[in-house]
Chain A
Amino acid sequence: MWDQLVVGAAPGDAITKSAVLIREALAAHGPSEIYAQHLEPGLDSHVHPLHELPRRPNRDRPLIFHASIGSWPVHRAIVENEQRLVLVYHNFSPPEYYADIAPEIAGDLIRGRWELEQLRDRVELAFADSEYNAEELRVLGYRDVEVVAPTPDVDRLDRVVPDPDMLRRIDGWGPGPLVLCVAQQLPHKRVERVIAAVAVLQQEHEPDARLAFVGVDRLATYSRALRAMARTVGLRDPQFLGRISDAELSALYLRAAVFCTLSEHEGFCVPIVEAMATGVPVVAADRAAIPSTVGEAGIVVDDPDDPVLVAGLLAKVVRDGDLRRLLVGRGVGRARGMSAAHSLPRYLDALLRHPTASRTVAELVASGEPLPAGVGR
């Protein structure tokens, strides 16, 4: 039984997609299910609610816990059920971005770190999406952290036909270059930076440039502020598209001239890999784990708060054909190495070869070796 636990599961969510891929891969090694505290509609066949999480002694293998935010019910379920654990750390966003706009989320983010400290001795194997995330785990006292990129299923965009309606809609926005930003509407994503930069791009370089923004509205105040900000800085015709299908996203990547994300904090940033995989040049902020995801295959901006600089870089990418070809070529190659086809076997290999996490309790007892801290309490 190789079960996984996530705090929140939603269609289109990168962690949920990653968990589904891992489950499919683990199915060959035994039953595997996914459980979540918050479960959005549309995932009923993939994810079970938290209260259905099996308890020991039914559980013979460690529970794979995807940590992205603190949650008291999830923490209690892990502790009270005496779960053995494999941790996959996707990073906690900085709570300071939520202190004013959503203090309850800030509290969850702060408590999340405390919860990880409490679970440290129970974790038999810890994965981190990036070296940046691994360092955060080491600060919390974790040792022997395996750095494995998440399993972005970027190939899925090749398996769908770009949505014709979305293509027509994009054509209706005009002939100018399309700047694409894909991110949940959350304060630490700093979408306002992209809005300001594209406004300058329109005013200084490319009057017909358009911004399409794909991302779920998570906080009403922030989402409304972004729209007000767009009007305030004079951004023309921004397209806030919310949650869209893979076919629609594929159409956007097909038409996009450049992908731009200026997020302040990312543990990995899957949309960057999607953009690179679909041949869209990337301009991103030099923040957190983003440089390690982009590598030498995109432009990282060390001052994303300067919209004039970012606009200049966007214009350069749009106009300079040689630079575009270079970025696209490097991006496609880099994304190929980061796709699920490469990262998923590394996950499985690390998991199935681990001396304790790969074995059932019965196997561990029979081996006569010292039991890990999480076993037999």
Chain B
Amino acid sequence: MDRDAEQQAPSTDEIAAAVAEVRRDLAERRARGELPHLPSDELDRQFSAVVEAVEAGLVEEPPIETGDLHGPAVLETWRPLRGRGGLAARLIGLLLSPLTRVVGVVVRRQVGEFSTRTAAVVEQLVDRQNRVQFFLSRTHLDRQRRLEYRVAELEREVERLRAALPEGAPPRTGA
């Protein structure tokens, strides 16, 4: 991961020189502690945690869409006259149409406020649900990443201890 700039063979090619310059700057900033030294598999660790979260259904994708919940006026409380169906049907339709219009006006007046309030509550619930889901997914991913970091630290510590064992010493199994 941290290729030392000094190890780069000098090149007259401008592209190679530009790459070497970026590497040198990166190495210096890392040496000054301005940038982290990333473990070689850091990206894999992070992305595998994301994939696990996605497969577990913990990542909200996509957020719930409320769409247009307003509009009780579109409730079909009356039907317009239709031009088909024969004379009898048209006569009945002519009689029913004013009646359904009146019913529609009354029903819309009765349910309008209720419908508006219901839509507002549903929107609030969906918004809250989306925020909770987002929080849970981020928390899960952060937690998982911390655990991954800790595992990586412990693996490095184990390697360090193993390397520090004197030659020929029996391995410690903890038993």
Task: List chain A positions with a Cβ less than 8 A from chain B.
Answer: 100-101, 192-193, 196, 221-222, 224-225, 227-229, 231-233, 296, 298-299, 302-303, 305-309, 312-313, 316, 320, 322-323, 326-327
Contacts and interface: CB of A to CB of B under 8 A. Distances in A.
Contact of A308 (B3, B26, B47, B138): B26
Contacts of B38: 306-308
The secondary structure that dominates the B interface is: helix
Interface residues of B, number: 32
Given A196-B46, A305-B43, 14 more contacts: A224-B59, A225-B47, A225-B51, A225-B59, A227-B61, A228-B50, A229-B50, A232-B138, A305-B1, A305-B42, A306-B1, A307-B43, A313-B19, A326-B14
Contact of A296 (B13, B41, B43): B13
Contacts of A299: 15, 18-19
A192 B47 contact: yes
B54 interface: yes
A232 B145 CA distance: 11
Contacts of B43: 192-193, 196, 305, 307
Given A309-B22, A312-B22, A312-B25, A221 B55 contact: yes
Contact of A228 (B21, B42, B137): B137
A192 B61 CA distance: 17
A221 B54 contact: yes
A141 B14 CA distance: 41
B40 A302 contact: no
Given A224-B61, A299-B19, A323-B15, A309 B42 contact: no
Given A192-B43, A308-B35, A221 B51 contact: yes
Interface in B127-175: 137-138, 141
A327 B22 contact: no
B54 A303 contact: no
A228 B18 contact: no
Contacts of A322: 14
A320 B25 CA distance: 15
Contacts of B35: 308
B44 interface: yes
